[in-house]
Structure 1
Amino acid sequence: MEPAADKRPDCLVVKAGGSLTGEIPALYALLASSGRDILIVPGGGLFADTVRQSGAEGTPAHWMAVCAMEQTAWLWVAAGACPVDGVQDPVQGVAVLLPYRVMREADPLPHSWDVTSDSIAAWVASKRDAPLLLLKSVDGIFSAGVLCETVPEGVEAGITPTDVVDPAFFSVARGSGIRWGIVNGRRPDRIRSFLGGGRPSGTYSNPHL
């Protein structure tokens, strides 16, 4: 039996960090050139920074930040990505998730600044049974100044919102069992290698992603 369209094994969820907002046109062209089916989960970027600066907390801040992600999503649409508003919608080529409706309906995560688009992307990947690539402005997770190819024991306790991934990410990713990797989104050669089946410099959940 053929797999369902929304569960295609070659579908990849890509979380594009908000710090890479200025790189969206180039990133879209790179992802599209791979020929893979890709679902983008956008970071909030400058829109989320505005929410932080507002002083909002808890539930209001959570939904404002998800709206910030949706604003960034439309920048991906402007670059050429196809907008989808269902987490399990069929994906052909490069699509971008408009997250507000699906997150309001499912409401799967705590309402705090410990949860950002990193954890939301992990949840999306779990719902699609897909691997997750996190594109960041850093090379990966470091321990004692050395880049970790896989996550070392205990490193999760030291992660903060400014240290690569949000504090809730590891528990969401572990709980769902997804495979994930972190690659520098400012290094097109590394992204191209990953999309082609390689394992470029970065941090990975296990040796087999």
Structure 2
Amino acid sequence: MTSLTSPLVVKVGGSLFDRVARLLEIFQEVGRRVLIVPGGGKFADLVRRLDVSDTAGHWMAIAGMEQFGWYIASHGIPAAPAIALPAGVTVLLPYCALRATDPLPHSWDVTSDTIAARVAADLSLDLLLLKSVDGIHHRRRLLSRVEDPSLTCDEVDPLFIPFVFEHGIRARVINGRYDDRVRDALREEVVTGTLIDPRF
């Protein structure tokens, strides 16, 4: 089990826009160091509706993540322009960091899910995805664990699961609309959701 003294990368999905203040309260309450990767949410959804090239769409969507990041930061937490270990609860502003390295394909197969996994890989940290779904489903059944790197699903982007397995990232996908689930996940306790742990 991962130590609670170890920082954690937490992706806050754009669908949790209305939950930001409460999530930040929980992060502070638990006291674990957290680097938040903002989702794209409505900002990225707008880009999807535009007729632009894959490269333009990629960077416009990441700029959307940056806007959500500034919204999160407006609640009184530090905003970081570079990928680095957090001192407390910090939100990443991903645009400049990703432009400098351009580490991922320019495609809608890559969303903030895989970008968060890339950040976790760069920092050798575990990853928690907070979404508005209970986890990853297969044939209408919630999976407590994913063991097949070729699994396809609707809850994460197509590159996410292969990327997590390839890079050996321990990741959990849970519903961020439940305070107790978020709190328990931060404390490394058993929680409703899906675990992906390629190391075991």
Deviates more, 1:111-120 or 1:170-179: 170-179
CA distance in 2, matches of 1:61, 1:207: 31
Distance 1:13 1:56, change over 3 A: same
Question: In structure 1, what is the equivalent of residue 181 of structure 2?
Answer: 190
Match among 91, 97, 112 for residue 107 of structure 2: 112
User: Are 1:135 and 1:183, in contact at CA under 8 Å, matched by a contact in 2?
Assistant: yes
CA distance in 1, matches of 2:38, 2:149: 28
User: Are 2:134 and 2:192, in contact at CA under 8 Å, matched by a contact in 1?
Assistant: yes
Aligned partner of 1:136: which letter? K
Alignment of 1:66-145 (within 5 A): 66-88=62-84, 90-145=85-140
Note the C-alpha offset of 1:152: 4.5
Match among 18, 33, 42 for residue 22 of structure 1: 18
CA distance in 1, matches of 2:75, 2:113: 22
User: Are 1:140 and 1:202, in contact at CA under 8 Å, matched by a contact in 2?
Assistant: yes
Aligned partner of 2:74: which letter? A
Note the C-alpha offset of 1:135: 0.3
**SS of residue paired to 1:135:** strand
User: Are 2:127 and 2:172, in contact at CA under 8 Å, matched by a contact in 1?
Assistant: yes
Runs of 5+ in structure 1 lacking a partner? 1-7
CA distance in 2, matches of 1:37, 1:154: 29
Note the C-alpha offset of 1:86: 1.0
Aligned partner of 2:22: which letter? A
Note the C-alpha offset of 1:121: 0.3
Runs of 5+ in structure 2 lacking a partner? none
Distance 1:65 1:197, change over 3 A: same
Distance 1:109 1:58, change over 3 A: same
**SS of residue paired to 1:79:** coil
User: Are 1:28 and 1:80, in contact at CA under 8 Å, matched by a contact in 2?
Assistant: no
Say what the alpha-carbon RMSD is for the aligned residues. 1.9
Note the C-alpha offset of 1:192: 0.7
Distance 1:147 1:169, change over 3 A: same
Note the C-alpha offset of 1:154: 6.7
Q: Does 1:200 align with 2:196?
A: no
Task: Give the structure-2-normalised TM-score.
Answer: 0.93
Note the C-alpha offset of 1:36: 0.6
Note the C-alpha offset of 1:168: 0.9
| CA offsets 1:15-51 (integer angstroms, 9 cap, x no match) | 1111111211111111111101000000011111111
Aligned partner of 1:171: which letter? P
Q: Does 1:13 align with 2:25?
A: no
CA distance in 1, matches of 2:59, 2:139: 36
Note the C-alpha offset of 1:197: 2.3
Task: Give the structure-1-normalised TM-score.
Answer: 0.89
Deviates more, 1:197-206 or 1:8-17: 8-17
Note the C-alpha offset of 1:208: 8.6
